[in-house]
Amino acid sequence: GENVEQHPSTLSVQEGDSAVIKCTYSDSASNYFPWYKQELGKRPQLIIDIRSNVGEKKDQRIAVTLNKTAKHFSLHITETQPEDSAVYFCAASSYNFNKFYFGSGTKLNVKP
Amino acid sequence: GAGVSQSPSNKVTEKGKDVELRCDPISGHTALYWYRQSLGQGLEFLIYFQGNSAPDKSGLPSDRFSAERTGGSVSTLTIQRTQQEDSAVYLCASSFNTGPYEQYFGPGTRLTVT
């Protein structure tokens, strides 16, 4: 089955700096890669996703890049703000396995 | 429209008791997923439903765990003879269909086994 690995497990940045979280996957059949943000005590919420037919997607301060050859995808947050502090999860899915495989999560701390 | 809802929001039970957790998915969503999240940990897949059938039960930790879905809507996760290690937040998510579609999560049920 699919295996998704996520790094780093914790990340601390200064407000205004950029943050990058990386995930690798093992199954070339994976074709949908969402990123979820989970604030303390809250439910995970989708912040951005990318499908395998594109290499990059941006939404304001957030971007995701995908390298299908290397089987890795990354979340980029620019101009970080304290409210970006949360746990971020990457995931992979496809029609082949019908469910999501989640990374282990990255706790992002943005210091004011 | 209404999002995914779960009940109860909190459940405290004694070791050895049975508990039922409920999930109401978004109307029209055919896929429903159950996850478990221990404190400070990631999302552990338990089971998913396509309609009323559960093609993949591989994540259920033991035979004390079972789940069903009726009418292609509400799902219940039942834990029999609860143990302290069952304490966690149980999250439900639904999506338009199985596979590469956005999952919408419910608020979770925090289960504490004393």
Q: What is the pLDDT of residues B24-36, one digit of tens each?
A: 999 999 999 999 9
Residue A30 has a pLDDT of 92
Cα→Cα distances A8→A89, B19, B70, Å = 11, 36, 40
Determine whether the interchain pair A102/B45 forms a contact, defined as Cβ–Cβ distance below 8 Å.
yes
pLDDT grade for A3, boundaries at 50, 70 and 90: very high
Test the A interface: residue of B29, B43, B53 with most A CBs within 10 Å: B43
pLDDT tens-place string over residues B41-82: 889 999 999 999 998 888 999 999 999 999 889 999 999 999
Determine whether the interchain pair B105/A44 forms a contact, defined as Cβ–Cβ distance below 8 Å.
yes
Q: Is the pLDDT of residue A78 over 70?
A: yes
What b-and-e string marks burial along A18-46, b requiring 16 or more CB atoms within 10 Å of the CB? ebbbbbbbebeebbbbbbbbbeeeebbee
d(CA B12, CA A66): 43
d(CA A6, CA A48): 16
The three-state secondary structure class of A85 is: coil
Determine whether the interchain pair B100/A94 forms a contact, defined as Cβ–Cβ distance below 8 Å.
yes
> Omega into A112 within 30° of 0, i.e. cis?
no
Q: Around Cβ A75, how many Cβ atoms within 10 Å?
A: 25
